């Protein structure tokens, strides 16, 4: 029977390319065919997770935000300035922390078979760069409806407010919001750099793209096929991470050509200003926050 | 023309027929009324929150975060309620070419088959939707913290109501309720 | 699986199963015959109700319902009469111009046909208009409403085609005006030939000044909608909410004819319309699932671009298909069914999706007054108490005008500028 691999990205995106690769690897390994459904044709990220749980589709490369609606623990990967670089982030989710999140997912009938990349988030603004935390004082910044992001920007003294993604361009255009924060790919494809050309490389949050299957489907597979799934996910994931990293570097150049102005924030000052966010989450998830900190420091 | 055949069924069954028709009309009306209350309430709450949010944002540059998430639970109920109202009043869009061309007897038969098909579809959606309902109990909305299942429940609600209404309509057609036949053949449009 | 699905759907549709259920029956049947899990039905049915932009539909319907429920209609007719009543066939001109003005508050042709038809057709008959002609003017001109913003069919198209609703609204103005001007020309010709009476407003402008002042805020609505959208002050959903607030303020404070009863009835009518439209949107989303799984839109787009060598032939073919489907299928349903496939085909020949959207809405709105099934045709003939056949005959000049406009916007992209 066909395996349906669903995701939300369009041709050209690293996740799209990696999904094609996954299909190729899985078919090679098991001999059965894969139907890749891109561009959210099987629904958005939240709907794909429901579909995986209900057995309508078998596997999805999803997003951290949507998955945290089921397994809140994955949201902790977005603790402010947690990872010094992408490689550390990858090592962390591939290790013990990733297993912990997977274990929690089992309670909801899901299984995480691997982690791909979503990107690191940066701040864009209508008229100025955010080099020091003081620059953010009182800034009206749009965030996704995610508690962690709101906490970070409140700690930085900004006034964050969640807004539906579809409404962001017009809200920025009208000046209701002065800026927003997203990975470069999202900024570029929504053309937000044309409205808010001042882009500060803050890298305040890392986001993974969990690759999720239904636990019921997973348990029905024989061990050899299970290995095929995890191997294909790891191998395609390595490609996806690499493409994402290279793509981001190229993207910055493209956006500069189109008029965006880049600057890099003073990371130490931001780290200090957001330390209180860790304390808040350590109260609810003491062990995970500790494990994450250790992993992030390469211990 | 239907007079003769209801006479033929004999006086004995009249009270039963009468009672059944009354029950069916009452049931449909009751579902219609409760659906109106549900849908209009959902719409009123969303209107109030969104308007407040727009005003707050433009005047005080703050907002109500849940204004952008509440629709995930309430729009499904607005739609579900509206769908039940539309079904109770036979206001769904259909191509009524075939029954329009037919003799009254054949037309009634077609209308019965249609109600039977609607019933079958509605029941199969309620039935096959169970895994989704289960999966949605694990998801909660990020700002509201409400489980997705509170929104999903609108789907089995509306299709269960539609099943009841279709059963009633089928019964009413069999028992020759002419007011229903008329309303089934009135064309509706939403353009 | 797709072929089975389409067959069952068409069979059920022709058998007069409601459109939404006919689609669901096709999908369910195909899934069942293929041995696939039917859980996808519930999942896809639910999905459209999670869309934030979709909220604009009930709120724009509500705003229109509220505006039309009060005294606003009378004022509007008077303004139209003041402007164009003095010409031959004046009440016919009033009907067309009234549709343009009504179009600014309502997104629905049927609402327009009912409201204006009830107000104008009896007056026209009294002053010696042939009933069939009165019905014909009303049936055809009321479709201008779905081109002048706001427009429910354009919102629907924007959502399925992933095109800016703002751009569609702006692009709709010119075709709407063009259609209205053409229809006024047709009325003028018929009015002159049949020597139809003039109908100037009694007392002229002097008697009207007071009313004009009161009616202006209501006429300001389309300007408000377009203005806020065009300059990015608010999004379609927000504008729809503000339009409701505006309609409530105008009829509550200015006209003083807003009561809880009016509000409740307008709301019930709104949720019912929303439910009836949404079941089709939801059911099409299940159908889309099957079609995309089997990559049907891609294959179809390829087939079309191979079969028809020139883009103009493709555009012609799309128009013919729509005209045929429009004779039996209601406008929003046809937009939802054909939209996703046509957008792919349009992309393949480099057709601007906004232009395609206007093409679809102009084309399929002709279907509202063509036999065998046409809602504004039925409503108008019923109000005028005249046979469908007679109305269709009187509609001939209007068919010619609308086909001409359709041809123009199909091949002159500048007419759907945004
Ligand atoms: Na309109
Ligand atoms: Na028609």
C253 Cβ contact list (under 8 Å, min separation 6):
none
CA-wise closest residue to A76 among A66, A85, A88, A64: A64
B9 Cβ contact list (under 8 Å, min separation 6):
B17
Q: How many CB pairs under 8 A join A and B?
A: 66
Give the pLDDT of residue B189.
57
Tens digits of residue pLDDT in A159-201: 888 777 777 887 787 777 899 999 998 899 888 999 999 999 9
Number of neighbouring beta carbons within 10 Å of residue C310: 9
B61 Cβ contact list (under 8 Å, min separation 6):
A140, A159, A176
Q: Which of B63, B68, B138 has its CB closest to that of A53? A: B138
Taking an 8 Å cut-off on Cβ atoms, the answer to whether C330 and B82 are in contact is: no
Q: Which of A35, A37, A43 has its CB closest to that of C47? A: A43
Taking an 8 Å cut-off on Cβ atoms, the answer to whether B40 and C267 are in contact is: yes
- Tokens linked to A299: 């211990």
pTM of the model as a whole: 0.87
Following DSSP, what letter does each residue of C48-70 receive, concatenated? GGG-SGGGHHHHHHHHHHHHHTS
Number of neighbouring beta carbons within 10 Å of residue A137: 11
The C-alpha angle with vertex B75 and arms to B74 and B78, in degrees rounded to 5, equals 90
Q: Which residue of A has its CA nearest to B58?
A: A176
Taking an 8 Å cut-off on Cβ atoms, the answer to whether B63 and A46 are in contact is: no
Tens digits of residue pLDDT in B89-108: 988 878 878 888 889 889 99
HSE, side-chain direction, 13 A CA sphere, residue C370: 19
Q: How far, in Å, CA of A38 to CA of C298, rounded?
A: 13
Instruction: Spell out the per-residue pLDDT of chain C, length 418, in tens.
Output: 899 999 999 999 999 899 899 999 999 999 999 988 899 999 999 989 988 888 988 998 898 888 877 677 777 788 888 888 888 888 899 999 989 988 888 888 888 888 889 888 988 998 889 999 999 999 999 999 999 988 989 999 998 888 888 899 999 999 999 999 999 999 999 999 998 888 887 777 777 777 777 777 777 777 888 787 777 677 788 889 998 998 898 888 888 888 999 999 999 999 998 998 899 889 988 998 898 888 888 788 888 878 888 999 999 999 999 999 888 888 988 898 888 889 989 988 899 999 999 999 999 999 999 988 788 998 899 889 898 899 999 999 999 999 999 999 999 999 988 8
Taking an 8 Å cut-off on Cβ atoms, the answer to whether A41 and C238 are in contact is: no
Q: Which of B61, B69, B142 has its CB closest to that of A176? A: B61
Q: Is the backbone peptide bond immediately before C372 cis, with ω within 30 degrees of 0?
A: yes
CA-wise closest residue to C366 among C405, C317, C408, C399: C399
Tell me the pairing of strands A59-61 and A3-6.
parallel
Instruction: Spell out the per-residue pLDDT of chain A, length 299, in tens.
Output: 689 999 988 888 899 999 999 999 999 999 999 999 988 888 888 889 999 999 999 999 999 988 998 999 999 999 999 999 999 999 999 999 999 999 999 999 999 999 999 889 999 999 999 999 999 998 989 988 778 998 999 999 998 887 777 778 877 877 778 999 999 988 998 889 999 999 999 999 999 999 999 999 999 999 999 999 999 999 999 999 999 999 888 999 999 999 999 999 999 999 999 999 999 999 999 999 999 999 988 76
Q: Which of C14, C152, C274 has its CB closest to that of B78? A: C274
Q: How far, in Å, CA of A255 to CA of A251, rounded?
A: 6
Q: Which residue of B has its CA nearest to A140?
A: B61
Q: How far, in Å, CA of A26 to CA of A111, rounded?
A: 17
Using DSSP's 3-state secondary structure scheme, residue A3 falls into strand
Contacts of C238 in chain A (CB under 8 A): 167
**Candidates C167, C235, C297, C340, partner chain A, best to mutate (most A CBs within 10 A):** C235
Q: How far, in Å, CA of B91 to CA of C22, rounded?
A: 15
Using DSSP's 3-state secondary structure scheme, residue A235 falls into helix
Helices (H), ranges, C250-330: 260-293, 296-307, 311-328
Tens digits of residue pLDDT in A107-137: 999 999 999 998 899 999 999 999 999 999 9
Orientation angle between helical segments B14-55 and B154-174, nearest 10 degrees: 150
Using DSSP's 3-state secondary structure scheme, residue B165 falls into helix
Give the pLDDT of residue B1.
35
Q: How far is the CA of C179 from the centre of ligand 1 (A)?
A: 14
Give the pLDDT of residue B4.
40
Contacts of C47 in chain A (CB under 8 A): 43-44, 47
Q: How far, in Å, CA of A163 to CA of A142, rounded?
A: 6
Nearest ligand to the CA atom of C368: 2
Q: Does B49 touch chain C (CB under 8 A)?
A: no
CA-wise closest residue to C388 among C374, C406, C367: C374
């Amino acid at each position: 029977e066909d395996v349906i691999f669903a995701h939300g990205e369009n041709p050209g995106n690293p996740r799209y390319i990696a999904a094609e690769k996954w299909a190729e690897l899985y078919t090679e390994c098991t001999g059965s065919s894969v139907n890749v459904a891109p561009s959210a044709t099987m629904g958005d990220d939240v709907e794909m997770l429901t579909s995986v749980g209900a057995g309508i589709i078998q596997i999805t490369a999803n997003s951290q935000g949507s998955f945290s609606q089921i397994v809140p623990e994955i949201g902790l990967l977005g603790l402010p300035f947690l990872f010094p670089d992408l490689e550390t982030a990858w090592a962390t989710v591939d290790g013990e922390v990733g297993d912990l999140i997977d274990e929690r997912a089992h309670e909801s009938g899901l299984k995480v078979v691997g982690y791909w990349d979503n990107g690191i988030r940066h701040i864009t603004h209508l008229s100025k760069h955010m080099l020091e935390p003081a620059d953010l004082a009182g800034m009206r910044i749009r965030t996704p409806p995610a508690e962690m992001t709101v906490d970070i920007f409140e700690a930085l003294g900004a006034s964050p407010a969640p807004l539906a993604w579809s409404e962001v361009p017009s809200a920025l255009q009208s000046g209701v919001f002065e800026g927003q924060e997203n990975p470069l790919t999202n900024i570029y494809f929504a053309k937000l750099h044309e409205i808010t050309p001042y882009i500060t490389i803050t890298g305040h949050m890392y986001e993974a793209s969990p690759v999720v299957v239904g636990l019921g489907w997973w348990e029905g597979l024989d061990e050899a096929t299970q290995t095929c799934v995890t191997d294909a996910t790891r191998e395609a994931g390595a490609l996806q991470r690499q493409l994402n990293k290279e793509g981001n570097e190229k993207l910055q150049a493209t956006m500069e050509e189109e008029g965006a102005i880049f600057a890099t924030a003073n990371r130490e000052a931001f780290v200090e200003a957001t330390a209180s966010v860790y304390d808040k989450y350590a109260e609810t998830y003491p062990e995970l926050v500790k494990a994450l900190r250790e992993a992030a420091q390469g211990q | 023309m239907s007079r003769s055949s209801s006479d033929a069924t004999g006086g004995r069954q009249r009270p039963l027929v009468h009672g059944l028709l009354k029950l069916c009309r009452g049931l449909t009306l009751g579902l219609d009324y409760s659906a109106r209350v549900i849908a209009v309430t959902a719409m009123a709450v969303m209107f109030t929150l969104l308007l407040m949010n727009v005003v707050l944002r433009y005047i005080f540059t703050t907002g109500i975060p849940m204004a952008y998430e509440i629709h995930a639970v309430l729009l499904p109920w607005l739609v579900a309620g509206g769908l039940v109202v539309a079904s109770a009043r036979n206001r769904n869009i259909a191509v009524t070419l075939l029954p329009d061309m037919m003799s009254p007897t054949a037309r009634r038969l077609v209308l019965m088959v249609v109600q039977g098909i609607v019933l079958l579809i509605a029941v199969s959606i309620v039935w096959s939707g169970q895994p989704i309902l289960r999966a949605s109990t694990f998801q909660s909305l990020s700002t509201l913290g409400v489980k997705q299942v509170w929104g999903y429940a609108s789907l089995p609600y509306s299709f269960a109501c539609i099943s009841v209404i279709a059963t009633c309509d089928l019964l009413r057609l069999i028992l020759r309720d002419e007011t229903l036949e008329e309303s089934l053949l009135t064309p509706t449009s939403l353009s | 699986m797709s072929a089975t699905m389409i067959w069952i759907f068409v069979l059920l549709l022709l058998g007069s199963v409601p459109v939404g259920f006919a689609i669901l029956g096709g999908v369910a049947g195909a899934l069942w015959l293929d041995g696939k899990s039917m859980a996808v039905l519930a999942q896809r049915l639910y999905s459209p109700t999670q869309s934030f932009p979709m909220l604009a539909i009930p709120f724009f319907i509500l705003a229109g319902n509220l505006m039309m429920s009060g005294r606003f209609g009378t004022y509007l007719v008077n303004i139209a009469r003041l402007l164009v009543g003095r010409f031959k066939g004046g009440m016919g001109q009033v009907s067309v111009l009234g549709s343009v003005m009504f179009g600014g508050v309502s997104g629905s042709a049927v609402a327009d046909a009912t409201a204006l038809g009830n107000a104008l057709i009896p007056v026209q008959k009294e002053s010696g208009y042939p009933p069939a002609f009165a019905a014909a003017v009303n049936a055809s001109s009321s479709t201008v409403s779905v081109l002048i913003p706001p427009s429910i069919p354009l919102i629907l198209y924007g959502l399925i085609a992933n095109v800016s609703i703002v751009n569609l609204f702006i692009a709709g103005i010119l075709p709407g005006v063009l259609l209205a001007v053409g229809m006024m020309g047709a009325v003028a010709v018929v009015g002159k030939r049949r020597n139809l009476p003039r109908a100037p407003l009694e007392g002229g402008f002097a008697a009207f000044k007071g009313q004009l002042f009161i009616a202006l805020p209501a006429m300001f609505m389309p300007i408000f909608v377009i203005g806020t959208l065009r300059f990015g002050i608010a999004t379609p959903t927000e504008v729809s909410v503000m339009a409701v607030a505006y309609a409530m303020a105008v009829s509550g404070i200015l006209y003083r004819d807003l009561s809880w009863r009016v509000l409740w009835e307008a709301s019930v009518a709104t949720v019912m319309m929303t439910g009836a439209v949404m079941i089709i949107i939801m059911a099409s989303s299940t159908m889309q699932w099957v079609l995309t799984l089997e990559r049907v839109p891609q294959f179809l787009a390829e087939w079309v671009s191979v079969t028809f060598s020139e883009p103009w032939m493709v555009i012609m073919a799309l128009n013919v298909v729509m005209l045929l489907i429009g004779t039996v299928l209601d406008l929003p349903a046809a937009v939802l069914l054909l939209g996703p496939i046509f957008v792919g085909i349009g992309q393949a020949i480099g057709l601007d999706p906004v232009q395609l959207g206007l093409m679809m809405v102009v084309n399929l709105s002709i279907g509202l007054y063509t036999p065998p099934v046409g809602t504004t045709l039925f409503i108008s003939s019923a109000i005028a108490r005249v046979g469908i056949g007679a109305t269709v005959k009187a509609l001939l000049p209007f068919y010619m005008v609308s086909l001409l406009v359709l041809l123009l916007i199909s091949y002159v992209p500048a007419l759907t500028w945004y």
